[in-house]
Chain A
């Protein structure tokens, strides 16, 4: 520590504009005056006396500097001097300096950008106290999982004491329609259970939160909404908001920046009043458990499962095999982005390595040129260490500048990409420039500069500097070793580039495959939106039915509209819920296999509107109404799961838990598979479609409108139709189905774009690096080339000699890079869609691209070598 204190003392001494300086200068001036007086006293004329005095005294500015050095300690003084020297040397070679700084800035910029995202997203904990204790709870049946049902939640609240604290949110994407002066406004928000804020350990800053009559509608509001709606007044508590047609009391204001895990814009949280369950079903509660540090999530999950199992068996007769699974909330939110980020970070690391190799090459080339300078300075008495430090100072300075520039690049890049990335990367808004990121960028820059700087350092012929000078500066003995290192660096650059490029190409090919994949439905010309009917008066099924029928009829009357349909879920990733079911057993009226499938309640024209092909049987018809026999349409995946012979028509099933009294639902049609959960990438799962008209308890359907005309122009007309039916109901999530489909591929597109940039960067760095080495090689061999030409070598021979030596390196690099790619692309497997990690065409195409780039990089210097005029050069020499 005393060492550190000494550092502090010296830094202070160096930085303070010391009063001693004035004293020192006065003292030195006096010294000079004394000397001058003496010279004058010896009788020489004043001019001559001054000259002699100056000579004898030495330069006063240097003396003053030397004292300052002595005062602040040698180390810092050396550092300052070396850096000044380095800066001067670098300024003298702007081209070289720019090449190095840009290489480093690109490498450091990429690394820093990804690092800052990784830091915000993966490393920084979620913004709740002891957030690592928070876990998402899901039910698992073998490899299928779902959110919790109310039955589960109630049982967990009763049983979980001492194991975990449990809270839940539901319908997190729905939001609420708030009545306002300009018509209904949609507030982002969701229902939360009474326990949630306690589990998150976040209390309202104003108000007490949920309390009193559990049936009363109560709402917590966000800080922004509080300011906007109530002018940040404490009187807000107890005031009422009309949400989805229901009047709710404001009971608390949450702290600024509070959001439920995984949400970004939510600002109202309504008390979720759960009805006492009659069955285990409707799996829609996103349940969060806080597990103490002393218990592992696995143990907690096992304990909760064993506590709840007997309860559910006794109450609802649940006997199938299921268990709870807990996953850290942070991991859930980060999801597959973690893998993308870590892979990107490694790819970016490879690009940084390429940049370092590039810089090392440039420094090596310059090092040879500088041997002369070093030899002269050594001859003038500069110590070896002094020279080595000087070279390292230059590298460090280059690294620092490159790192600083890289930091700027990273920040610009993140700002540009922030909005696009926010859709893909959770917590993107938390990415910012903090001290750790700055230190990271500068440290990576300096480290890269030093690593690159050490390589040429060991190549300086220290012992032979004197000899080198005597031999007229033409000794070439060291050139061989030097050249070998440079060639190795070129091979490494090309190899690394091929590895990065192959990875990028695989991701891009996946993206192309993904976008060419038939989604199973026709999104073109389809507009979709969500309506959510408030309980009053729509808890009456007939009112809901009447509303939907009226809406459907009026929308069909709009110009250009060909089809209108309603559905509870939409492809490719707007799945609202799954349901459990039992199919009929081998004997009539007995339960056979049971399972969980995606569940969609649709109107008769749904399949036509979306162009989902009917494979067998019939679609729903207007006659499939309330009183008619219950019917279902299933997809091919469902048929494959249960009816191995392919005959599904006429088979029967029951939704929900097995209940002998419930009527059977008969399968009347089979349609093509369509993905509903995770887009085209996630593929289709078994799906049961039922008739919306037979399920009018459901009041939040999507509406799809197929039109030959301009969809955007249709929106105002649609809005006024809805307002004409019920002015309280806003249109939510108004999107064309094409947009929905495109949005579902955002992550792969983001990944593809990111890796394309990285691949291009790697290619550019490697090409410039190769070019630099070859150009240097050619310029060094001008004499040799001239002699060859003079002795009769043709232009073609000279060109092919250079080209040949360059391409040998390139091919070696490509072979090694191909091996590297074969070994590493397996780590991309989970990010690939219908492409093998070792896809030969991708590898070959990448190899060809890299070889071509290397060819161009070699061809330019080769042509220059070919243009060598032997006479001119030999005359010069």
Chain B
């Protein structure tokens, strides 16, 4: 009962005042993860490393950001996860891209390219 009251109270406040500090890079990070997994299934650390490597060490994704993002993508059905054994013989949780995820990555990539091209044009325009 109290839970419900609090929930109703909070969701109304939440709807009225959405958090404004954390929306920033969420979509972009999701896209980067999907892209990293596009090459091959990987465990969490591998994904982080791949992103760092691909971005030439510009992006360091910490666990506090990475794992919630993975959770989010799992929920949306864009990636799947299962436990298996690594080359070194240790158990690890591997993530792989699903068909839906691949499709989503394609649309994201297209719109990202359009957007980034547009931004580059704006930024490089002679004033």
Query: How far is the CB of B2 from the nearest CB of chain A, in Å?
Result: 6
Q: Are B20 and A385 in contact (CB under 8 A)?
A: yes
A339 at interface, CB cutoff 8 A? no
Interface string of B1-16 (1 = CB under 8 A from A): 1111111011101100
Q: In whole Å, how far is A716's beta carbon from the nearest beta carbon of chain B?
A: 57
A807 within 8 A of B: no
- By a CB distance below 8 angstroms, the chain A residues around B43 are 27, 30-31, 34
Q: In the assembly, what is the distance between CA of A209 and CA of B125, in Å?
A: 102
**Digit string of A11-47 for contact with B (CB within 8 Å is 1, else 0)?**
1000000000001100110110011000000000000
Set A60, A389, A443: member contacting B5, Cβ < 8 A:
A443
| Cβ-defined contact, B10 with A79, below 8 A | yes
Contact with B along A357-394 (1 / 0, CB 8 A): 00000000000000000000000011111101100100
Known: A66-B68, A389-B13. A383 touches B2 (CB 8 A): no
Which residues of A lie under 8 Å from residue B90 when comparing CB positions?
30
Tell whether A31 pairs with B44 under 8 Å between CB atoms, given A57-B63, A58-B63.
yes
Chain B residues, CB < 8 A from A82: 10
Q: How far is the CB of A119 from chain B (nearest CB, A)?
A: 17
Which residues in chain B, 1-39, are within 8 Å of chain A measured between CB atoms?
Answer: 1-7, 9-11, 13-14, 17-21
The contact of B93 among A7, A23, A396, by CB within 8 Å, is A23
Question: Given A30-B43, A63-B64, A71 and B14 touching (CB < 8 A)?
Answer: no
The answer to whether B62 and A57 touch across the interface, beta carbons within 8 angstroms, is yes
B103 interface contact, C-beta 8 A: no
**Are B67 and A67 in touch, CB under 8 angstroms?**
yes
Q: A30-B43, A35-B45 are in contact. Are A66 and B67 (CB under 8 A)?
A: yes
A62 at the interface (CB under 8 A from B): yes
Closest to A58 in B: B62
Chain B residues 66-101 with CB under 8 Å of chain A are 66-68, 71-72, 75, 83, 90, 92-93
Q: Which residues of B are found within 8 Å of A443, using beta-carbon distances? A: 5
Q: How large is the interface on A (under 10, 10 to 19, 20 to 34, 35 or more residues)?
A: 35 or more
Q: Does A570 contact B (CB under 8 A)?
A: no
How distant is A377 from chain B, measured CB to nearest CB, in Å? 11
CA A57 – CA B44 in complex, angstroms?
A: 11
Closest-by-CB residue of B relative to A55 is B62
Query: Residue on A with the closest CB to B12?
Result: A75
Q: Does A304 contact B (CB under 8 A)?
A: no
Residue of B nearest to A23 (CB): B93
Which of B4, B11, B18, B60 has the most CB atoms of chain A within a 10 A radius of its CB? B11
B60 contacts which of A56, A76, A78 (Cβ < 8 Å)?
A56
Whether B17 and A67, one on each chain, are in contact in the complex, defined by CB atoms closer than 8 angstroms, is no
Expressed in whole angstroms, the minimum distance between the Cβ of A526 and any Cβ of chain B is 56
**Contact B63–A60 (Cβ < 8 Å):** yes
Q: How far is the CA of A11 from the CA of B71 in the complex (A)?
A: 18
Q: Closest approach, in angstroms, between the C-beta of B108 and any C-beta of chain A?
A: 20
CB distance from A84 to the nearest CB of B (A): 13
Closest to A382 in B: B21
- Measured CB to CB, the nearest residue on chain A to B7 is A7
Measured CB to CB, the nearest residue on chain B to A66 is B68
Asked whether A75 lies within 8 Å of B21 as measured between CB atoms, the reply is no
User: Chain A: which residue is nearest B92 at the CB level?
Assistant: A30
Interface size class on chain B is 35 or more
Q: Check if B44 sits within 8 Å of A27, measured CB to CB.
A: yes
A442–B92 Cα distance when bound, in Å, is: 48
Say yes or no: is A94 at the interface (Cβ < 8 Å to chain B). no
A67 and B14 contact, CB distance less than 8 A: no
| Contact A63/B62 with A30-B43, A31-B44, A383-B20 known, Cβ cut-off 8 Å | yes
Q: Which listed residue, A31, A382, A385, A446, touches B63 by the CB 8 Å rule?
A: A31
Q: Which residue of A lies closest to B23 (CB)?
A: A383
A75 touching B2 in the complex, CB below 8 Å, given contacts A57-B63, A69-B68, A385-B20: no
Q: Are B18's CB and A385's CB within 8 A?
A: yes
Residues in B whose Cβ lies below 8 Å from that of A75: 7, 10-11, 14
A59 at the interface (CB under 8 A from B): yes
Q: Does residue A435 face the partner (Cβ distance < 8 Å to B)?
A: yes
Evaluate contact between B17 and A27: CB separation under 8 angstroms. Answer: no
- Using Cβ atoms and an 8 Å threshold, which residues of chain A touch B63? 28, 31, 57-60, 63
Within 422-447 of A, Cβ neighbours of B (below 8 Å) are at 435, 438-439, 442-443, 446
Question: Taking the nearest CB of chain A, how far is it from the CB of B47, in angstroms?
Answer: 10
**What residues of B have a CB within 8 angstroms of the CB of A69 in the complex?**
68
Q: Which residues of A contact B44 (CB under 8 A)?
A: 27-28, 30-31
B21 touches A439 (CB 8 A): no
In the complex, what residue of chain A is closest to B83 when comparing beta carbons?
A: A23
CA distance A67 to B10 in the complex (A): 20
Contacts of B3 in A (CB 8 A): 11
CB contacts (< 8 Å) of B46 on chain A: these are 34
Closest B residue, CB atoms, query A64: B67
- By a CB distance below 8 angstroms, the chain A residues around B45 are 30-31, 34-35
Given A7-B4, A79-B6, A392-B13: A66 and B20 interface contact (C-beta under 8 Å): no
Chain A nearest CB from B94 CB (Å) reads: 10
Closest to A15 in B: B3
What is the CA–CA distance of A29 and B44 in the complex, to the nearest angstrom?
Answer: 11
Closest B residue by C-beta to A59: B64
Say yes or no: A70 contacts B72, CB within 8 Å: yes
The answer to whether A439 touches B1, judged by C-beta atoms less than 8 angstroms apart, is yes
A841 CA / B7 CA spacing, docked (Å)? 52
Find B7's partner among A11, A23, A60, A386 (CB 8 Å cutoff). Answer: A11
Whether a CB of chain B sits under 8 angstroms from the CB of A767 is no
Tell me, yes or no, whether A400 is within 8 Å of chain B by CB: yes
Q: Which one of A70, A383, A386, A388 contacts B71 once the chains associate, using CB atoms below 8 Å?
A: A70
User: Which of A64, A389, A392, A442 touches B2 (beta carbons < 8 Å)?
Assistant: A442
Q: Is the CB of A386 within 8 A of B21?
A: yes
Which chain A residues border B5 with CB–CB below 8 Å? 442-443, 446
B6 to chain A: which residues have CB within 8 Å? 79, 83, 396
Q: Name the residue on A nearest B69 (C-beta).
A: A70
Q: Are B64 and A383 in contact (CB under 8 A)?
A: no
Flag if B64 contacts A71 (CB, 8 Å).
Answer: no
In contact, B19 and A78 (Cβ under 8 angstroms): yes
Q: How far is the CB of A780 from chain B (nearest CB, A)?
A: 30
Residues of B within 8 A of A389 (CB): 10, 13-14, 17
Q: In whole Å, how far is A19's beta carbon from the nearest beta carbon of chain B? A: 13
Near A by CB (< 8 A), chain B positions 110-126 give none
In the complex, which residues of chain A have a beta carbon less than 8 angstroms from the beta carbon of B83?
23
Q: How far is the CA of A24 from the CA of B43 in the complex (A)?
A: 12
Chain B residue at minimal CB-CB distance from A4 = B4
State the Cβ distance, A430 to closest chain B Cβ, in Å.
23
Contact A381 B21 (CB under 8 A): yes
Contacts of B13 in A (CB 8 A): 389, 392
Report the minimal beta-carbon distance from B9 to chain A, rounded to whole angstroms.
Answer: 6
The complex places the Cα of A95 from the Cα of B25 at a distance, in Å, of: 42
Q: In angstroms, how far is the closest chain B Cβ from the Cβ of A296? A: 39
Contacts of B48 in A (CB 8 A): 31
Q: A381 to chain B: which residues have CB within 8 Å?
A: 21
Please name all residues of chain B whose beta carbon is closer than 8 Å to the beta carbon of A64 when the two chains form the complex: 67
Q: Give 6 closest A-B pairs by Cβ, nearest first.
A: A385-B17, A58-B62, A63-B63, A34-B45, A70-B68, A79-B10
9 sampled A-B residue pairs with Cβ under 8 A: A28-B63, A64-B67, A67-B68, A70-B68, A75-B10, A382-B21, A386-B19, A389-B10, A438-B1
